[in-house]
Amino acid sequence: MSRILMVEDGRDSASALLDHLCNAGHEVEHIGDGATALDRILSSPPALTLLDVVLPQIDGLQVLQKVRSHSDHPIIMLTARTREVDRLRGLDLGADDYVCKPFSPREVVARVHTVLRRHAQREGACAAPSKSVSFRDAHGGAQLEGQALDLTRRELLLLRTLSRDPGRVFTRSRLLEAAFPEALDVSERAVDGHIKNLRRKLSAVAPSHGWIRSIYGVGFSFAERPA
């Protein structure tokens, strides 16, 4: 059983999801405003937070941003904002997932289990973020399953970012910040070009596994080889 915090303005709209989470064996606390939720997350972190965007006092994106300055606590955004720019904003700020209303409570419960499982795997592997990829030092080369990779600096930065958190979806803008920290005029298309080259080099070493997966309209994630 996991302790879930649901931050939703209005208990009626949250009741169906709350019931499904309780039936799945979770302990659920409901909070209706952002300020109280932020204090609760920082003082007594639950296993996962379901966070609406539109909230009294402090909106969900501000809560997310403040939490991310302290921890990687799992957060799934729940919102009626369906525009791509809104979804990307939440993911850029560090949301683990983003679900648009109206949604199926059963689907949200499934996503909760996925994020919790991924977070547990990440915590267990914090000393070695990827079992397949290793790095010599901050500026050195990388190895995939024991074989050296001939990577450019940009490719190395991208691989380091992606493999640090297998399964997590990184938007193009976040990868752009990681691979081009000093550049101000580089387009997100540059990320696609480097990802294409990186995939080719990873495949040359271990062709039987798709290491970098595209998430349509969002970005990319690193797929660790199953144990």
Query: pLDDT tens for residues 152-167?
Result: 888 888 998 898 888 8
pLDDT on residue 189: 82
Does the pTM surpass 0.75? The reply is no
> Which tokens go with 78?
């729940």
Q: At residue 185, what is the residue type?
A: D
Q: Hey, what domains does the chain have and what are their CATH numbers? A: 2-124 (3.40.50.2300), 133-222 (1.10.10.10)
Average the pLDDT over 193-215 and give the result.
91
**Whole-angstrom distance, CA of residue 48 vs CA of residue 217:** 25
* pLDDT digit string, tens, across residues 84-137: 777 778 887 888 888 888 888 899 999 999 888 877 766 655 444 556 888 875
Is residue 175 classed as helix, strand or coil in its secondary structure? helix
